Structure 1
Amino acid sequence: MDFAMTSEQRQRHDRLRSAIRHQLPGRRRTDPGDHFDRDDWGRTADLGLTGLCLPEEFGGGGLGALDTALCLEAFGQCCLDTGLAFGVAAHLLACAVPIRDFAGDEVRGQLLKGMADGSVIASNAITEDSAGSDSARLGMTAVRDGDHYVLDGEKSFASNAPLSDVIVTYAVTQPEAGFLGTSGFAVPRDLPGLSVSGPMEKMGLHGCPAGRITFDGVRVPARYLLGGEGQGRTIFQHSMGWERACLFAIYLGVMTHQLDRCVAHVRSRKQFGRRLADFQAVSHKISVMSERLEGARLLLYRACWLTDQGTADAGAVSLAKVAVSEAAVANARDAVQVFGGIGYLASTGIEQQLRDAVPSTLFSGTTEIHRNVIARERGL
């Protein structure tokens, strides 16, 4: 096994980190109503971040899962607005990937170029008030009517929704078929009967606006169906495989930056005439933070590598997702403790990292759901 980046990966990673520091927002968003705008989005697109794993023929980077994750890690490390990074990753992995792999040629040609160049922002809408973790029991319906589908229902917690141009969503087309009766759609935002509310006020990830989406008799041309009828669950799981493997690389980047700040702080800060670093209680906390980060990084890289080989299984992806998200929360909590009182101040950005980390154990499947998957993969 070779754990080193190739020279091409290293050069891409270094170029991207430098560009992100110079071109993307250099401030943290501490107000729940403060989120990215189209200018921010355009700057990320200029760096290629909105099209990392999209085909080159559509202006994308043509990258595999591991290289996509390495770029998102650089994004998380060097951009102070983790919400923006999250929004871009959701657009790319939960929306562009299923369009890339399951849309017809006409829709791929219509949407993917704009998704890569930043002129089209996508939102993923599957969660409903009564269907979160239990995504196989959706209430939204899609009824075939000639060459259209009529969509009715409401979605919640849709990232990017208030600014979106296209919405990747899932609805029941064959109620009698259970979870095999769900279908996926790429729905243009401007269709009559579709309305978006928000942004919602959230604990963290303020940079990414989330909203509710109502479909009231929305007539969607059949060409926007992803795959075939009844393939929705397969399509969703495929996109989540990419999201769970790659998106959480953002948190690897955040934790790397966070740990560097903690190390610098304990080296320079003195109490009782000694550096904080000289107290074993502090140095051991730094050691544990390092252990969590490096262990999570290896599991995520492995999940991405397996995805690129076409051999990723649900267990490997779930292990990575749980390891990174739980490490992100634990390390952010420890960072507040390391910084003490000033870590609790919004101006330092340390407490913001904790608020941004907490939802990572909820979205893309809760920790509890993924531990069920891991146990099942072990034959339990």
Structure 2
Amino acid sequence: MDLTITDDMERRGAAARRFAEDHLNTGLAARDRRGTLDAAEWRTLWGAAAEYGLLRLGLDTAHGGDGTDLMTATHVVHEVGRGCRDTGMLLALNATLWTVLRPLVEFGTEAQQARYLPRLLSGEWIGADAVTELASGSDAMALQTEAVRDGDGYVLNGQKAFIGMAPCCDLALVFARTNPAVGAWGVSAFLVETSLPGVTRGPEVEKLGLRTIPTGFLSFTDVRLPASAPLGPEGAGASIFARSSEWERQMVFAGHVGAMKRQLEACVAFSQQRSVFGRPIAGHQSVSNRLADMRVRYETCHLMQRRAAWQMQTGTGDAAAAAITKLHISEALLASSLDAVRTMGGQGFLWEAEAARDLRDAVGGVLYGGTSDIQRNIIAQFLPGWAAKN
């Protein structure tokens, strides 16, 4: 397993970090405080990210990607996380890459790819992954949204909740029941253009953290879908969701690991400048030990993230590996974010302080993509086979 960061990766990562610092932090404090969508502002930021090529990372050139391998793509996203102080934007970019674009590349027809990929990759259109419902939550495939055959197409009815990008998306990957009698194996995936009659948005939700990613509900009332709308065959929704979850859980936190390094760098600098009892707080053992813990968390998460990218690149990962990656990094991110606030004290506790914003954002990491409890359940399911093999 070669986890080396090459000179080319370093070069590309440094350029991406500078781009993020210069273009993705504009108006961040105001956007975080507002917590709701400003469509024009979001489109401008999204367009800049797309123009730079952040939505093409890790996708092959035949589908409009930049042709980078996943190890390189992961390092670039890591460095974007160091430069971009907007964790909501990081989540939006990564969610689009791994839960919208990747399923379209892996499961879409040539016609679907030709229609949607150029618009999504250019930033002209914004995509959303619409799985969650109020009544299902962690039991993701226990859906009420239903798509009923009608002639060559379908009629879609239902509601999706807490969907990132819902207030501004042009295309939604919607999971719905097509054969309720067979449970999860009767779930199908559909590419739904939100301009269709019967698609409505709202309400937009205001969150504790990740306030800069527009989030809300999508409702479908007698939405007529063409025969070309299904992604993959009918009944393949559970398989597509499982595959998408592996991508999400192993890859979506790459930028957050970069953010952990940014946190640590800021805390080290602060602890050397801030003095109490006649010396910098870095000289007090309780503070230095806390910083050491942050360093250990970052290093282990960075290695784990690169291993995850290698596993996805070589096809050697599985659901347990994805769950382990997601669980460890999300919990470590939350712990280090709390340590950053403790280190900066009152200055870190102010609402608009970067440390406070990072902490609020980190809480979401133990929830989205499957809660920490769900990840532990998945890991436990694989333990007998893992123990027998090892």
Instruction: Place the TM-score, normalised by the shorter chain, in its bin.
Output: over 0.9
1:31 aligns with 2:14: no
**Residue 17 of structure 2 contacts residue 81 of structure 2 at CA under 8 Å; is this kept in 1?**
no
Greater alpha carbon shift after TM alignment, 6-15 vs 276-285: 6-15
Report SS of the residue matched to 2:4: coil
- Distance in 1 between the 2:69 and 2:245 partners? 15
Residue 82 of structure 1 is matched in structure 2 by 87
- Distance in 1 between the 2:67 and 2:2 partners? 23
Residue 115 of structure 1 is matched in structure 2 by 120
Instruction: Please list, as runs of the form range in 1=range in 2, the aligned pairs for 1:1-380 lying within 5 A after superposition.
Output: 1-26=1-26, 27-28=28-29, 29-33=32-36, 37-379=42-384
| Contiguous gaps of at least 5 residues in structure 2 | 386-390
Letter in 2 for 1:154: Q
State the 1:93 CA deviation: 1.2
State the 1:144 CA deviation: 1.2
Letter in 1 for 2:20: I
* % same residue: 36
State the 1:24 CA deviation: 2.3
Report SS of the residue matched to 1:213: strand
Letter in 1 for 2:337: A
Report SS of the residue matched to 2:167: helix
State the 1:90 CA deviation: 1.4
**Residue 141 of structure 1 contacts residue 173 of structure 1 at CA under 8 Å; is this kept in 2?**
yes
Letter in 1 for 2:232: G
State the 1:225 CA deviation: 0.5
| Contiguous gaps of at least 5 residues in structure 1 | none
- TM-score, normalising length: structure 1: 0.97
Residue-by-residue CA offset, 1:293-319 (whole Å, 9 max, x unaligned): 111221221112111101111111111
Report SS of the residue matched to 1:291: helix
- Distance in 1 between the 2:270 and 2:199 partners? 50
State the 1:198 CA deviation: 3.5
Report SS of the residue matched to 2:91: helix
- Distance in 1 between the 2:140 and 2:69 partners? 27
Greater alpha carbon shift after TM alignment, 260-269 vs 87-96: 87-96
Q: 1:171 to 1:34 in 2, by over 3 A?
A: closer
Report SS of the residue matched to 2:289: helix
State the 1:30 CA deviation: 2.7
Residue-by-residue CA offset, 1:108-138 (whole Å, 9 max, x unaligned): 1000111111111001110001111101211
Residue-by-residue CA offset, 1:13-68 (whole Å, 9 max, x unaligned): 11111222222234332332256510111010111112213332343223343333
Greater alpha carbon shift after TM alignment, 344-353 vs 305-314: 344-353
**Residue 37 of structure 2 contacts residue 167 of structure 2 at CA under 8 Å; is this kept in 1?**
no
Residue-by-residue CA offset, 1:200-221 (whole Å, 9 max, x unaligned): 1001111100110111111111
Letter in 2 for 1:23: H
Letter in 2 for 1:348: A
- Distance in 2 between the 1:34 and 1:213 partners? 15
- TM-score, normalising length: structure 2: 0.94
Letter in 1 for 2:210: L
**Residue 179 of structure 2 contacts residue 186 of structure 2 at CA under 8 Å; is this kept in 1?**
yes
